[in-house]
Amino acid sequence: MQTKILLDDEQIPKQWYNIQADLPTPLEPVLHPGTKKPVTPDDLKIIFPMELIMQEVSTKRNIDIPAEVRDILQLWRPSPLYRAHRLEKFLKTPAKIYYKWEGVSPPGSHKPNTAVPQAYYNMKEGISRIATETGAGQWGSALAFATKLFGLKCTIYMVRASYDQKPYRKSMMHVWGAECIPSPSDKTRSGKAALEKDPDTTGSLGLAISEAVEDAATHNDTNYSLGSVLNHVCMHQTVIGLEAREQLAMVDEYPDVVIGCVGGGSNFAGLSFPFAGDKMTGKHPDIKITAAEPTACPTLTKGLYAYDFGDVAGLAPILKMYTLGHDFIPPAIHAGGLRYHGDSPILSKLVHEGVMGAVAYHQNEVFEAAQTFACTEGIIVAPEAAHAVKATIDEALRCKKSGEAKTILFNNSGHGNFDMSAYDAYYAGTLVDYEYPAELIKESLAHLPKV
């Protein structure tokens, strides 16, 4: 009974998969926040290195991974693929459940798959500091790790709710030499404005993005780095799906269902995009691909597919995506990495066109699923990844009812070793099942930019 499927070091992908090459229609243009016209490379080079700008707009199917990047990825890649035999037995399902385990990276999540190349390209362009935001702290710790390896300074604006909830993520960033600032802060104009409006705000990813973008745009030695949403970020993460597809082939399997949690979309894109490419090109047209999100921030299930700012202050580019409105401040749920008002434009386009679907869950049912997984497979997953666990269990139980022996693949995107306060809250019965009121979503969407 094979449980763990491994690849050799030399089987780390040598190229990223760029799904833009296989989209039926091109992505809608990214718009400048001031002029509302399509952005140019010159508009973006104030905060991004040129190589990443070129990757952002490229329609080339495969893009080479630099040798220096692959050398660092080799610290934890290829990551293992597991068959969840014990979970299957517990659920009494005929389904076969596989999960890609990204918690083996030094920061404990999938995030360094893009943090390393982003730090590398900034270093090559002579940048000395990177500013970024982080929600739960997975991205912040990953970029702190990556920038230290390339000798860069790092400033991280961490959403206040998670800054208070997850102190050990801050500690990780400090170990790797980064500066971690609770957002909103008094370090930027956008942060000060938010504090004046609500001194007790729990913050949001959109607001932290405003602070980081402002920081980068006002310092010549500093660039901005984003851990999700953008095309190049999703592309860097495709090492996950490319490896998983090869690992499944080793046991003569191909998934019927692919599942991942979604905040901005990076880990979900990383696993699903190679399989979505297979679906769109007709190789496997019937594969089901599902994104799992929180009911407290239901972007894909209750948002509007429209142009919106990527941040609260309107400093970031305007993207065509599913959005709840850029000034949407979600409740302080423990899945801090899923508290973003929008989603990846590519992911949004694929959901809008029916290539992928989405489901939303409450906190308590998500943590119940996470406990089931921990008690069968042994891994305590991050609150974000637990949404994918919940969707997987639901899919497996549908197979139990129908008798179908489907193959289910999900991305276990990170461990929950620094999220035990969330589990404590679950066991204490103090987690609140937020469902964001429709009228507040409607109010937030009324403030979309006119384009």
Query: pLDDT digits over 249-273, tens only?
Result: 999 999 999 999 999 999 999 999 9
Whether the pLDDT of residue 227 is over 70: the answer is yes
3-class secondary structure per residue, the chain: CCCEECCCHHHCCCEEECHHHHCCCCCCCCECCCCCCECCHHHHCCCCCHHHHHHHHCCCCEEECCHHHHHHHCCCCCCCEEECHHHHHHHCCCCEEEEEECCCCCCCECCHHHHHHHHHHHHHCCCCEEEEEECCCHHHHHHHHHHHHCCCEEEEEEEHHHHHHCHHHHHHHHHCCCEEEEECCCCCHHHHHHHHHCCCCCCCHHHHHHHHHHHHHCCCCEEECCCCCCHHHHHHCCHHHHHHHHHHHHCCCCCCEEEEECCCCHHHHHHHHHHHHHHHCCCCCCCEEEEEEECCCCHHHHCEEEEEECCCCCCCCEEEEEECCCCCCCCCCCCHHHCCCECCHHHHHHHHCCCCEEEEECHHHHHHHHHHHHHHHCCCECHHHHHHHHHHHHHHHHHHHHCCCCEEEEEECEECCCCHHHHHHHHHCCCCCCCCCHHHHHHHHCCCCCC
Examine residue 369 and state whether it is found in any structural domain, yes or no: yes
In the prediction, which pLDDT does 334 show?
66
In a domain, 205, yes or no: no
More confident of the two residues 23 and 335: 23
Residue 315 lies in a domain: yes
pTM across the whole model: 0.95
pLDDT of 154: 98
Q: Is residue 9 part of a domain?
A: no
- Give pLDDT tens digits for 349-371: 999 999 999 999 999 999 999 99
In angstroms, rounded to a whole number, what is the distance separating the alpha carbons of residues 303 and 293?
12
Beta bridge partners of 322: 305
The total of structural domains in the chain comes to 1
The answer to whether 16 and 65 are in contact (CB under 8 A) is yes
Residue 156 in any domain: the answer is no
Higher local confidence (pLDDT), 332 or 152: 152
Whether 451 is in a domain gets the answer: no
Query: Is 354 in contact with 305 (CB distance < 8 Å)?
Result: no
What is the pLDDT of the chain when averaged over all its residues? 94
Residue 336 is predicted with a pLDDT of 61
Residue 119 within a domain? no
Give the separation between CA 407 and CA 41, rounded to whole angstroms. 43
Residue 280: which domain range?
67-108+232-445
Q: What is the pLDDT of residues 38-57, one digit of tens each?
A: 999 999 999 999 999 999 99
Backbone angles phi, psi at 396, to 5 degrees: -65, -35
Structural domain includes residue 436: yes
pLDDT band at 241 (very low <50, low <70, confident <90, very high): very high
CATH number at residue 280: 3.40.50.1100
Residue 332: pLDDT band by 50, 70, 90 thresholds?
low
* CB hemisphere CA count around 149 (13 angstroms): 22
Predicted confidence (pLDDT) at residue 299 exceeds the cutoff of 70: yes
Rounded Cα distance, 139 and 146, in Å: 10
Residue-wise pLDDT for 357-411, tens only, equals 999 999 999 999 999 999 999 999 999 999 999 999 999 999 999 999 999 999 9
Residue 1 has pLDDT above 80, yes or no: no
Residues 269/16, Cβ–Cβ less than 8 Å:
no
